[in-house]
Amino acid sequence: MDKTLIFGHKSPDTDTICSALVYADLKNALGLEARPVRLGDVNKETQFALDRFGVEAPELIEKVDDDVDNVILVDHNEFQQSVDNIQDVHISEVIDHHRVANFETKEPLYFRVEPVGCTATILNKMHKENAVILSKENAGLLLSAIISDSLLLKSPTCTQADKEAAHELAEIAGVDLETYGLEMLKAGADLSDKSALDLVTMDAKEFTIGEANVQIAQVNAVDTSQIYESQAAIEQEMKRLISDKGLELFLFVATDFLENDSDVLALGSAKEKVEKAFDVSLDANNRALLKGVVSRKKQIVTNLSEQF
Amino acid sequence: MDKTLIFGHKSPDTDTICSALVYADLKNALGLEARPVRLGDVNKETQFALDRFGVEAPELIEKVDDDVDNVILVDHNEFQQSVDNIQDVHISEVIDHHRVANFETKEPLYFRVEPVGCTATILNKMHKENAVILSKENAGLLLSAIISDSLLLKSPTCTQADKEAAHELAEIAGVDLETYGLEMLKAGADLSDKSALDLVTMDAKEFTIGEANVQIAQVNAVDTSQIYESQAAIEQEMKRLISDKGLELFLFVATDFLENDSDVLALGSAKEKVEKAFDVSLDANNRALLKGVVSRKKQIVTNLSEQF
Ligand SMILES: [Mn+2]
Ligand SMILES: [Mn+2]
């Protein structure tokens, strides 16, 4: 029997989980037995989408078993983002929307990468190409994936094709795009169970800028003021890390991805560099609102680099 | 102005040249200005197809100029088969039917690889997807590519999709598939301007099998007897190489790709290994017909290896 697994990348996001689920259903509708699986925990946003449309998460796997004939990669192609034993398995297909790199097969395959904002947008198209009708549930999952990857159609990566697909899918799924989208993103941005240490370390990167050691931690939220209710505890963790690591600057960035701005907290001897870099004044709480700033790599590091 | 070049692999074959030409026309029909180019000489088979359908060969380039915005790769994706400065250019699309390897971009792109026998088969499909009608000339070029890559639909790499496309395209091009196909393949297999030295060196590989030095040269032809009209001269070149390189065996393989067999000429102290490997007797001219043997790698080297 042909045994085919479909999975997305490690640290799965909503596009990865939903695309694996929906593509497996499409494959089965076309007569190929295929099973969706996942390579990591389901995050809160994805769980919200699954619950809303009454779909179970795919099974977790650690590696691909020896008796699997084929694997299909969705939402990724780079091997380091894939299952650990990816080099030992036969890849029959890739459906993705990322750059192509660190990928290699011995045999020809079906490899489909399109420059759109979400794998789900390609899958919506593939249903049409194969004249397979999407169920309400699967339309809801693909919609959730697009909302997630495009931050409700606001991200610069979102294309016209993603927007059109999202509106179509919302109609089939029977939900209001804006209302449902906000609910889902808020569920994903729920930081209520995170400790102050979690917040300053869960997505932190260290940079050497000029001669200075700079740490920049970022969290995404829909209500940044909620995060700063525990500012005292956050500062305490930051100060400990500044001393432990000998940092000149620790910048904590709370990004409101709906408003497209970031409420930052700067500590360390070089904190005035932040004021110069973004032409703002830190308030008495060492905070400032950076309007239009959401990207650590493209906006924050770049602007700071000019000051050091 | 958007400047886009379309090209196939180095040492271009008929699929590479014809796919570049036809895809450029499709792109232009869809409103993207694109120009087909080539990375090497047009072979005899391809020239026959171009002449038959009254199409000029694309322009030869050595490298991609600085003012080119995008390149589209057809019929290949591995960088070592592509233009020398491929690392410095922006690849916007890949349309191919080979394995994926040694390829990398910084940005997402349109990357379409399908497990069929020929790039032209994918391009035929893309015309339908975009509702663009193929001209008689372009249908003839795509047909020629399929005939070339599939050896007139006989190769094990030829799929049902290639066969269906070939029949469709022959109808649009207004040619008889078999008659035209044979003419084109014969034009490509014309060895009349090759010297005996050309024949024994143009596609020769050296192997160490067991302890023995073995050279295997292969030529493709539709009439192998014609090649052996100059057997005396061929033997003279082989003997010189045996002595120069200290070979135990020199096997000259004249493959009839329509009959699916090879008329081989074996010289050297280990020539009786050929008899054992293929259960044949070399005749008084040191030749034998190996039925069903066409692949140097998968059939000849493998069988010989068991004898040494
Ligand atoms: Mn995605
Ligand atoms: Mn080809």
pLDDT tens for each residue of B32-50: 999 999 999 999 999 999 9
Three-class secondary structure assignment of B222-259:
CCHHHHHHHHHHHHHHHHHHHHHHCCCEEEEEEEECCC
- Give the residue on B whose Cα is nearest the Cα of A113: B111
User: Could you report the per-residue pLDDT of B219-268, keeping only the tens digit for each?
Assistant: 988 889 989 999 999 999 999 999 999 999 999 999 997 888 999 999 99
Looking at chain B, the whole-number percentage of residues with pLDDT higher than 70 is: 99
Q: What is the SS3 assignment for chain A?
A: CCCEEEECCCCCCHHHHHHHHHHHHHHHHCCCCEEEEECCCCCHHHHHHHHHCCCCCCEECCCCCCCCCEEEEECCCCHHHCCCCHHHCCEEEEEECCCCCCCCCCCCCEEEECCCCCHHHHHHHHHHHCCCCCCHHHHHHHHHHHHHHHCCCCCCCCCHHHHHHHHHHHHHHCCCHHHHHHHHHHHHCCCCCCCHHHHHHCCEEEEEECCEEEEEEEEEECCHHHHHHHHHHHHHHHHHHHHHHCCCEEEEEEEECCCCEEEEEEECCCCHHHHHHHCCCCCCCCEEEEECCCCHHHHHHHHHHCCC
Contact list in A for residue B108 (CB cut-off 8 A) is 97-99, 113-116
The pLDDT, as a whole number, for residue A257 is 79
Q: What is the pLDDT of residues B76-123, one digit of tens each?
A: 999 989 999 999 999 999 999 999 999 998 888 999 999 999 999 999
Residue B1 has pLDDT above 50, yes or no: no
Which residues of A are less than 8 Å from B97 in CB distance?
Answer: 108
User: Which residues on chain A are in Cβ contact (under 8 Å) with B130?
Assistant: none
Judged by CB atoms closer than 8 Å, whether chains meet at B109 and A99 is answered as yes
- B149 to chain A nearest CA, in Å? 14
Task: Output the CA A151–ligand 1 centroid distance in Å.
Answer: 12
Q: ipTM score here?
A: 0.74
Q: In percent, how much of chain B has pLDDT > 90? A: 77
β-strands B287-291, B261-267: how paired?
Answer: antiparallel
Residue A2: what pLDDT? 52
Confidence of residue B192 (pLDDT cuts 50, 70, 90): confident
Chain B contact for A107 (CB, 8 A cutoff): yes
Grouped pLDDT means (10 residues each) for chain A, 308 residues: 86 95 97 96 95 98 94 95 94 95 90 96 97 98 95 87 98 97 91 90 84 91 90 97 96 90 96 96 96 84 88
Nearest to A113 among B97, B106, B108 (CB): B108
Query: Which ligand places an atom closest to the C-alpha of B144?
Result: 2
The answer to whether A131 faces chain B, any CB pair under 8 Å, is no
